[in-house]
Amino acid sequence: MRGEPALRRGDWTSYRGRSGKDQLFQLAHDQREQADRSAAEPELPAEPRASWERTDAGLLPYPTGS
């Protein structure tokens, strides 16, 4: 949708934008992802982000050409 990887846990979705800033949305109350909750809930993106970084570190590099 936005071109950035998304992390989802329960009702929460987190994106790290091209600027490097995490955005956090509570889908149960904001299905269109208009109200960024990252400032109000700063601890929520940290755990899924750490989980993704651990997983990503174990993946093989994506081939970029022949």
Q: pLDDT digits over 28-38, tens only? A: 999 999 999 98
- Please report which helix (H) or strand (E) contains residue 53, including its range: helix 46-57
Strands (E) across 1-66 are located at 6-9, 12-16, 22-26
Band (pLDDT 50/70/90 cuts) for residue 3 is low
Fold exhibited by the domain 6-56? Arylsulfatase, C-terminal domain (3.30.1120)
Mean pLDDT of all residues belonging to the chain: 83
* Domain definitions of the chain by residue range: 6-56
Q: Residue 50: helix, strand or coil by DSSP?
A: helix
